[in-house]
Amino acid sequence: MNEIMATGISVLLVDDHPIVRQGYRRVLESQGDLHVVAEADNAADAYSAFKARDPDVVLLDISMPGASGLEAIRNIRARSPRARILVFTMHNEAVLVKAAFSAGASGFVTKSSEPSAVVSAIRSVARGERAMSDDIAHILAEDSLSAGSALDQLGEREIEILRQFAGGATTEQIATHLNLSVKTVQNYHYLIKTKTGARTDAQLVRLAANCGLTKI
């Protein structure tokens, strides 16, 4: 790879929406120095593609169905600690950003960013630098000042379950997606309610929406 594209940056594109991938591909390749060498629409394929192609940068949407995108980050980093992973998603909750960085991401940009910002973030992480879009920096800055949001008390699994629940998924659907027993999902549901102080499922949905975890 390095011999072939000594002057370019090879990119692995991971997103579960085909047209979104196709859009990225065209945007990135129009830059000249960016080359999309593989695509994946789930965490498992992303890992396989990473092993096969060893790209300079992984552009990863962590809000994929099934296994957590954070899991994918950890898997890739476990195999290759030098991997540069740029998380690219529409979620902009501080807890998610921090979780991504602590899982080993090199950068975090939101889909609200200008394409030019995404492209320059790719170049930054390819150079080994840390990168984040302006809105993310702003959110992290605010977060570090104020006492955290209600979501800060939640663990990674709890956040994922809350996201799927607030998105309208049933308990069984969540259990299937995450390979958990229904009972465990119910327990998480209860735990999330007590931790956040929500007395009602509706309050939980509103909380998730207010924290940017789900769009309505």
Partner DNA sequence: TCCGGCTTGGGAAATTTGCCCGAGCTGCCA
Partner DNA sequence: TGGCAGCTCGGGCAAATTTCCCAAGCCGGA
**What phi-psi label fits residue 25: left (phi over 0), alpha (psi between -120 and 50 degrees) or beta?**
alpha
Q: Residue numbers of the site for a second copy (CB under 8 A)?
A: 16-20, 22-24, 26-27, 30, 63, 65, 90, 93, 111-115, 118, 165-170, 199-206, 209-210, 215-216
Q: What is the DSSP annotation of 46-82?
A: HHHHHHHH--SEEEE-S--SSS-HHHHHHHHHHH-TT
Which position among 82, 181, 202, 216 is part of the footprint of DNA (CB under 7 A)? 181
Q: How far is the CB of 174 from DNA (least distance, A)?
A: 10
Which position among 98, 111, 123, 193 is part of the footprint of DNA (CB under 7 A)? 193
Which position among 17, 79, 183, 215 is part of the footprint of DNA (CB under 7 A)? 183
C-beta of residue 204 within 8 angstroms of C-beta of residue 192: yes
Site for DNA in 140-169 (CB under 7 A): 155-158
How far is residue 190 from each of residues 126, 137, 213, measured CA to CA in Å?
42, 32, 18
Which position among 137, 141, 182, 209 is part of the footprint of DNA (CB under 7 A)? 182
- Cβ distance to a second copy smaller for residue 63 or 75: 63
- Cβ distance to DNA smaller for residue 33 or 158: 158
- Cβ distance to a second copy smaller for residue 75 or 89: 89
Encoded tokens for 56: 């300079």
Sole window of 17-25, 32-40, 53-61, 172-180 interacting with DNA (rule: CB under 7 A): 172-180
Q: What is the DSSP annotation of 13-39?
A: EE-S-HHHHHHHHHHHHTTSSEEEEEE
Encoded tokens for 211: 């924290």
Q: What is the DSSP annotation of 98-161?
A: HHHHHHT-SEEEETTS-HHHHHHHHHHHHTT--EE-HHHHHHHHHHHHSPP-GGGGS-HHHHHH
Q: Which does 156 bind (CB under 5 to 8 A by kind): DNA, a second copy, none?
A: DNA
Sole window of 30-38, 59-67, 122-130, 185-193 interacting with DNA (rule: CB under 7 A): 185-193
CA 106 to chain centre: 12
Q: How far is the CB of 81 from a second copy (least distance, A)?
A: 27
Which position among 190, 203, 210, 215 is part of the footprint of DNA (CB under 7 A)? 190
**Residue 140: φ, ψ to 5°:** -65, -40
- Cβ distance to a second copy smaller for residue 30 or 80: 30
Instruction: Return residues touching DNA (CB under 7 A).
Output: 155-158, 171-172, 178, 180-184, 186-191, 193-194, 201
